[in-house]
Every structure is written in C-alpha cells, then in structure tokens.
Structure 1
C-alpha cells in the first residue's frame, strides 16, 4: 500500500485536520468572518487551501450545525414530501 503524501506539490497540507488548525480557523472566522475563502488560510496562519477551509467550516465547525438523528417531526416531513414530490431533485439537475 502506498501512503498519501501529507503535502501537495505547492506545499499545502492535506489530510486530517488537527485541533490546532480547527482552533485557528474558528477563531479567525468568528472574529473576521469569511470574506474571501481563497485568502483566508494565509491570514489565519493555515497551510491549507481555501476550499479545504471552507468545507471544514461549513460541514464541521459552524456553531449552528445540527448533529444527530432526525426528530420524529422531521422524519414525518421528509416522508410526506417524498410521497408528494418523489425524487424530483434528480430531474432538476439534468
């Protein structure tokens, strides 16, 4: 097996985020906002690309992310909407 390199050709870090990197990203976005994801890593002191920072923030670090299972009400809504609309979202993207 070949291990994936931890840095790419331009020197940006790849792979698992550390707690220190998470802390830096949260502190920067909390203080200054996410005005430009391409330049944010440089100002926040991160060796990551802007896309990686944006995805980490949006999918894991945002304070308003709800985690866990659906509630019974949410489950009912999903079932009712699927019965009503079906898989229409798949046809919209074509």
Structure 2
C-alpha cells in the first residue's frame, strides 16, 4: 500500500514521485534545459522544491545515466584498478594501460 502524498506548510509535495511528475520534469528539461533549479519547478508546473527536482534529474532521469549491472568489461576494469590501487581514494594513477 502506498502512502498518500504529503504537502508541507508551503504547499510543496513530499514523498514519492509520480510518473506524471517525472514526465513533466523530463519534458521541461528537454525543451528548455536546466538553468535555475529554484525556479524550474514553478515553470515546469511541479509542486516540488528545486533541490528535489535537481536530485530527481541527476540520480534517476538523465538520459545518459546508466541503469543496471556492470558489463563484463566494466567489471574486469574495476577488478584491475582495485588490484592496482586497492581502496585508496586519491587518483594517483591516471594511466592504467
């Protein structure tokens, strides 16, 4: 069972995004681009805050965003880099050939 959407005191919707909201955001950004995340929800016809729209776009809706598992080549590259670098976070090695 899905909870009913919650609106805060400013009238902004909280909680899960509906497919209609995703479509509105996707079509608006496709047509006009993302120029100001604070004003975008108003012009796109969404009752969301700009941060919510930005996060939804960056983490779920961008066309170039890859969903799913790694390919065999990507998996092999990850394993090779882990052998070379371990768990180190600093990008010391720039060439792995």
TM-score normalised by length of structure 1: 0.84
5+ unaligned residues in a row in structure 2: which ranges? 92-97
Bigger strand share: 2
Q: Runs in 1 of length 4+ with deviation above 3 angstroms?
A: none
* Aligned twin of 2:39: 39
5+ unaligned residues in a row in structure 1: which ranges? none
* Residues 11-53 of structure 1: CA deviation (Å, up to 9, x unaligned): 2100011111111101100000011111100111100011110
Alignment root-mean-square deviation, CA: 2.0
TM-score normalised by length of structure 2: 0.82
* Residues 29-82 of structure 1: CA deviation (Å, up to 9, x unaligned): 000001111110011110001111011111111111211111111001111111
Q: Secondary structure at the match of 2:48?
A: coil
Bigger helix share: 1
Report if aligned partners of 2:5, 2:16 keep a CA contact under 8 Å in 1. no
| Cα distance, 1:88 vs structure 2 | 1.7
- For residues 16 and 44 of structure 1, what CA distance do their matches in structure 2 show? 18
